[in-house]
Structure 1
Amino acid sequence: MKRSTVDKILASLSGDAEGWSFGRYTATHRKSGAEIWIGNSYYGLHVIADGIKFGDVTFASSLFGPFIPWRRKLLNAVRAAALRRTENGLVRAAA
C-alpha cells in the first residue's frame, strides 16, 4: 500500500465529497475511478486506485481490522463524506 495514495483519498473525501458516489458497498471517485470496497467494514476493506489494489481480507485484518490505522481512517472518512453528502443533498432539496 502506498501511503500517498491513502493520503490523496483521505484529502479528496474530506474536501470533495461531491466528487464521490456512495453505494451500499462501495465509494467511487467519479474523476479518477478510485474505488473503495466498504461492504465488509474493516475486515475486507480494500482500495483500487492508480491501477493498484491493496487491502482486502488478510489474517491481520480479520483479527485487528479496526486497529489498523489506514483502514480505520479510510472507513471513517468514507462514512463522514457520505453523511455530509446526504446532509447537503437534504438541505438543498428542502431549500
Structure 2
Amino acid sequence: MQARVKGSWFVYLLECRDGSYYAGISTDVEARFLAHVAGKGARYTRAHPPLRILARRAYADRSAASRAEWQIKQLPRERKLAWLERTED
C-alpha cells in the first residue's frame, strides 16, 4: 500500500463483509475507512459494512482520482483488485 502524500488524492478499494468490493476516493484513506466502518460513509457501505482496505492508488488531483474511480467501477469484480495493484496507468 502507498503511503500518504500531502496534497494527493487516492482511489481505494474496500472489501465488504459480504465479499463485495467498494471503490472510492479520498485524500485520507484511513480516515475515510473509519467513516465507512462507523456507518457515516457511502450508502453502499452502510448496507455492506467494510472489513478492510484492499488497495489504494495515488493521483495528482481530485479530477484524476474521480476519473480513475469511474473507470474501476466499470470493471468486472474480478478485475478491480488487479487494476488497483498495477504500478502504471
Q: Does the alignment reach a TM-score above 0.5?
A: no
Give TM-score, length-normalised by structure 2: 0.30
Q: Which has the higher contact order (CA 8 A, sep 6+)?
A: 2
Higher fraction of strand? 2
Question: More helix by proportion, 1 or 2?
Answer: 1
Output the TM-score relative to the length of structure 1: 0.29
